[in-house]
Amino acid sequence: MKLDTQTIHALADRLENCQLQQQDTTKITDDHPDMDWDDAYAIQDEIRRRKVARGLRVIGLKSGLTSHAKMKQMGVNSPVFGFMTDDYAVPDGGECKVSELIHPKVEPEIAFVTKTELRGPGCHIGTVLAATDFVLPGIEVIDSRYRDFKFDLKSVVADNTSAARFVVGGQPMNVSDCDLRTVGVVMEKNGVPVAFGAGAAVLGHPAAAIAALANHLGARGECIPAGTLILSGGITEAVAVQAGDNITLRVQGMGSTSIRFV
Ligand code: 0L1
Ligand code: MG
Residue 168's DSSP bridge partners are 138
Nearest to 135 by CA among 182, 169, 92, 172: 172
Residue 167: per-residue pLDDT: 98
State if residue 203 touches ligand 1 by the CB under 6 angstroms criterion.
no
Amino acid at the residue 100: E
State if residue 170 touches ligand 1 by the CB under 6 angstroms criterion.
no
Top pLDDT among 108 and 73 is at 108
Q: Give distance in angstroms: CA of 22 to centre of ligand 1.
A: 17
State if residue 142 touches ligand 1 by the CB under 6 angstroms criterion.
yes
Given phi > 0 = left and psi -120 to 50 = alpha, else beta, which region is 167?
Answer: beta
State if residue 120 touches ligand 1 by the CB under 6 angstroms criterion.
no
Q: pLDDT tens digits, residue range 131-188?
A: 999 999 999 999 999 999 999 999 999 999 999 999 999 999 999 999 999 999 999 9
Q: pLDDT tens digits, residue range 11-57?
A: 999 999 999 999 999 999 999 999 999 999 999 999 999 999 999 99
Q: Give distance in angstroms: CA of 32 to centre of ligand 2.
A: 26
Q: pLDDT tens digits, residue range 92-146?
A: 999 999 999 999 999 999 999 999 999 999 999 999 999 999 999 999 999 999 9
pTM above 0.95, yes or no: yes
Residue 232: per-residue pLDDT: 98
Residue 67: per-residue pLDDT: 87
CA torsion, ordered 147, 148, 154, 157, to nearest 10 deg: 90
**Alpha carbons 213 and 252: distance in angstroms, whole number:** 25
Classify the complex by whether its ipTM is higher than 0.85, answering yes or no.
yes
Residue 244: per-residue pLDDT: 98
Residue range 71-98: mean pLDDT, rounded: 92
Q: Give distance in angstroms: CA of 84 to centre of ligand 1.
A: 13
State if residue 165 touches ligand 1 by the CB under 6 angstroms criterion.
no
